[in-house]
């Protein structure tokens, strides 16, 4: 059917991307997500958002930082107005989504994805030695986090209030949606499938720990005074609070707190090397279909009817087992620890968004049920058949997502040895390659590896952004 088209197209494209990406063939992965663009026309960044997100990361992993920034800039532009779009939208497109289904719309980025766009852009600028712009991006990532926290705290509640008042003011469809969502049968159907959302493993508040952590170490390395150390300490403490079991995170938070309070003297601090490791393939969305009882209004009568709705559900993809490490000449090894789990980040956001997603799915289902009924009333059996076929074809959840994200992030810290030589160790303890850490106070060794079949991309960055990064693929 017509409306299924673009969904299938996207699925093919993402499958192609994934097979190349998992094998570490980033050029083919890039090709899979490229789109043709007439030279004299501006890119429709909203429509191509998903491609642009993937492109940005593929360019970055092939050491083409300025192209990466360009793609990410467009992506950021494409999601500018999507950030806070509500349950009931006045746009034509929003109305259509409710009539057709979620996957028919332009891709709507998650807030956590938006935070990561700014983070990756900051890393690309650091790799280019452009510290001024890196700072801007870290500030943006931090502001997006603040906005997300506020959004989830207030706006969701407001959206539900809107639905309620619409229903009360006699909007027929809104009242059907409202009473369906509120019915006990409906809630237990959802509960049976997903479990109670209060038991989902989530963070107490919206956060992308990897982004907040990078924000923290960046400002620690670039502090010009007490206020910057405070800022670093605030971020690092927040991340440490989210994972209380992590010694690495606590040590970073303590370092920043010490520098902020003056108990740790910067001059006495040896040059520091952080290793950050993006491991594995990030979670993807799966479709989960369930039949739920809806309450339809025929005239003044409430008629319960079962209807199929399609909801998105996150499924984990594998990571490389274990952790990596760095060792110096004297045999000291620093092993990376988990600092941020992408699945947990998404679940946290999903938990907040779930009532909205559910309401939209129900709104859409009721719209179609009404359509079927009207088709039957007006055009008889043929009309009803046509409407039913349309309904089945268009009941699909939006399963698109940014698939170049890792399963989780790990981190470690070690003093820079005087000769600058460190050995990077793989997940089985094998030597992945040799690192030459330049003489600079703060270094970030960035490692990203989607699968054990793919080589690790290693970027050695000056956290103060004074020099260009060195780029390598291990094992060579």
Partner 1 sequence: MLIRALAISVGIAVLAGCAAPTRYIDPAADDGPVAMTMDYRDFEKAATDAVEDMLSSGAVNNPDGSRYIMVVSRITNDTMQRIDTDQLTKKIRVSLLRSGKVVTTTAVGLNGAEDEMNMKARELRDSEEFDQSAVQRKGTLQAPDLSLSGKILQRNHKVGKEQQVEYYIQLSLTELASGLAIWEGETPIIKRGSDKSVTW
Q: In whole angstroms, how close is the CB of 248 to partner 1 at the nearest point?
A: 27
Q: Does 377 bind partner 1 (CB under 8 A)?
A: no
User: In terms of CB distance, is 146 or 193 closer to partner 1?
Assistant: 146
User: In terms of CB distance, is 132 or 430 closer to partner 1?
Assistant: 132
Among the listed residues 28, 89, 129, 136, the single contact to partner 1 using CB under 8 A: 136
Who's near 194: CB < 8 A, 6+ residues apart?
313, 354
Q: In whole angstroms, how close is the CB of 83 to partner 1 at the nearest point?
A: 6
Sign of the torsion formed by the C-alpha atoms of 121, 407, 247 and 148? positive
Q: Does 96 bind partner 1 (CB under 8 A)?
A: yes
Using the contact rule CB under 8 A, the part of the chain among 9-17, 95-103, 262-270, 399-407 near partner 1 is 95-103
Q: In whole angstroms, how close is the CB of 416 to partner 1 at the nearest point?
A: 24
Q: In whole angstroms, how close is the CB of 259 to partner 1 at the nearest point?
A: 18
User: Residue 270 in contact with residue 287, Cβ under 8 Å?
Assistant: no
Who's near 259: CB < 8 A, 6+ residues apart?
220, 223, 229, 232, 233, 266, 269
Q: Does 150 bind partner 1 (CB under 8 A)?
A: yes
- For residue 79, the 8-state DSSP code is T
Q: Does 386 bind partner 1 (CB under 8 A)?
A: no
Choose among 454, 352, 455, 403: nearest CA to 116. 403
- Token readout for 309 is 């709705």
Instruction: Return d(Cα 146, Cα 104) in angstroms, integer.
Output: 30
Instruction: Return d(Cα 34, Cα 53) in angstroms, integer.
Output: 11
Q: In whole angstroms, how close is the CB of 135 to partner 1 at the nearest point?
A: 6
Q: DSSP readout, 83-118? A: TT--SS--SHHHHHHHHS-GGGSPP---HHHHHHHH
Among the listed residues 143, 377, 415, 436, the single contact to partner 1 using CB under 8 A: 143
Using the contact rule CB under 8 A, the part of the chain among 54-62, 75-83, 280-288, 398-406 near partner 1 is 75-83
Q: In whole angstroms, how close is the CB of 390 to partner 1 at the nearest point?
A: 10
Q: In whole angstroms, how close is the CB of 92 to partner 1 at the nearest point?
A: 4
- Token readout for 475 is 């094992």
Query: Token match 């019915």: residue?
Result: 183
Q: Does 165 bind partner 1 (CB under 8 A)?
A: no
Among the listed residues 2, 8, 15, 157, the single contact to partner 1 using CB under 8 A: 2
User: In terms of CB distance, is 137 or 341 closer to partner 1?
Assistant: 137
Residue window 3-32: x/- pattern of binding to partner 1, with contact defined by CB under 8 A: x-----------------------------
- Centre a 10 Å sphere on the Cβ of residue 400 and count the other Cβ atoms it contains: 24
User: Residue 258 in contact with residue 264, Cβ under 8 Å?
Assistant: yes
Helices (H), 307-341: none
Q: Does 42 bind partner 1 (CB under 8 A)?
A: no
How many positions of this chain bind partner 1 (CB under 8 A)?
Answer: 24
Q: Does 370 bind partner 1 (CB under 8 A)?
A: no
Who's near 58: CB < 8 A, 6+ residues apart?
21, 26, 27, 29, 30, 33, 404
Q: In whole angstroms, how close is the CB of 460 to partner 1 at the nearest point?
A: 22
Using the contact rule CB under 8 A, the part of the chain among 80-88, 242-250, 337-345, 445-453 near partner 1 is 80-88
Q: Does 374 bind partner 1 (CB under 8 A)?
A: no
269: phi then psi, degrees, rounded to nearest 5: -85, 125
Q: In whole angstroms, how close is the CB of 30 to partner 1 at the nearest point?
A: 25
- Token readout for 22 is 């998992």
Among the listed residues 11, 31, 146, 428, the single contact to partner 1 using CB under 8 A: 146
- Token readout for 33 is 């997500």
User: Residue 424 in contact with residue 328, Cβ under 8 Å?
Assistant: no
Q: Does 224 bind partner 1 (CB under 8 A)?
A: yes
- Centre a 10 Å sphere on the Cβ of residue 436 and count the other Cβ atoms it contains: 11
- For residue 199, the 8-state DSSP code is G
Q: In whole angstroms, how close is the CB of 93 to partner 1 at the nearest point?
A: 7
* Contacts with partner 1, residue ranges (CB under 8 A): 2-3, 80-81, 83-84, 92-93, 95-96, 99-100, 132-133, 135-136, 139-140, 143-144, 146-147, 150, 224
């Amino acid at each position: 059917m017509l409306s299924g088209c673009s969904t299938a197209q996207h699925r093919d494209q993402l499958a192609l991307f994934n097979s190349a990406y998992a094998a570490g063939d980033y050029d083919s992965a890039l090709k899979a997500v490229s789109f043709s663009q007439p030279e004299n026309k501006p890119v429709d960044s909203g429509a191509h958002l998903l491609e642009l997100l993937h492109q940005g990361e593929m360019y970055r992993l092939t050491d083409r930082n300025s192209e990466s920034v360009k793609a990410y800039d467009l992506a950021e532009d494409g999601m500018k107005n999507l950030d806070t779009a509500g349950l009931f939208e006045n746009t034509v497109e929003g109305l259509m989504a409710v009539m057709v289904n979620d996957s028919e719309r332009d891709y709507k980025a998650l807030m956590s994805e938006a935070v990561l766009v700014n983070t990756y852009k900051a890393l690309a600028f650091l790799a280019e030695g452009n510290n001024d712009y890196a700072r801007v991006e870290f500030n943006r990532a931090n502001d997006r986090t603040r906005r997300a926290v506020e959004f989830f705290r207030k706006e969701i509640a407001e959206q539900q209030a809107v639905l309620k008042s619409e229903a009360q003011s006699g909007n027929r469809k809104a009242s059907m949606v409202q009473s369906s969502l509120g019915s006990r049968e409906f809630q237990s159907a959802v509960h049976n499938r997903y479990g109670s959302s209060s038991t989902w493993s989530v963070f107490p508040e919206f956060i992308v720990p990897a982004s907040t952590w990078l924000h923290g170490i960046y400002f620690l390395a670039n502090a010009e005074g007490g206020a910057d150390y405070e800022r670093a300490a605030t971020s690092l403490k927040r991340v440490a609070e989210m994972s209380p079991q992590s010694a690495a995170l606590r040590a970073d938070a303590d370092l920043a707190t010490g520098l902020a309070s003056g108990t740790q003297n910067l001059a006495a601090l040896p040059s520091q090397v952080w290793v950050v490791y993006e491991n594995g393939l990030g979670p993807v969305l799966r479709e989960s279909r369930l039949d739920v009882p809806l309450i339809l209004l025929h005239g003044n009568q409430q008629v319960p009817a079962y209807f199929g709705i399609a909801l998105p559900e996150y499924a984990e993809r594998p990571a490389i087992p274990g952790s990596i490490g760095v060792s110096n000449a004297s045999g000291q090894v620093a092993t990376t620890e988990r600092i941020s789990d992408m699945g947990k980040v998404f679940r946290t956001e999903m938990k907040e968004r779930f009532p909205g997603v559910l309401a939209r799915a129900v709104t859409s289902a009721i719209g179609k049920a009404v359509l079927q009924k009207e088709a039957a009333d007006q055009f008889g059996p043929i009309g009803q058949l046509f409407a039913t076929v349309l309904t089945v074809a268009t009941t699909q959840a939006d399963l698109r997502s940014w698939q170049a994200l890792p399963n989780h992030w790990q981190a470690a810290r070690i003093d820079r040895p005087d000769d600058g030589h460190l050995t990077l160790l793989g997940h089985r303890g094998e030597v992945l390659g040799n690192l030459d850490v330049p003489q600079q106070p703060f270094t970030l060794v960035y490692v990203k590896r989607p699968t054990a079949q793919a080589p690790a991309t290693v970027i050695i960055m000056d956290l103060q952004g004074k020099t260009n990064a060195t780029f390598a693929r291990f094992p060579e």
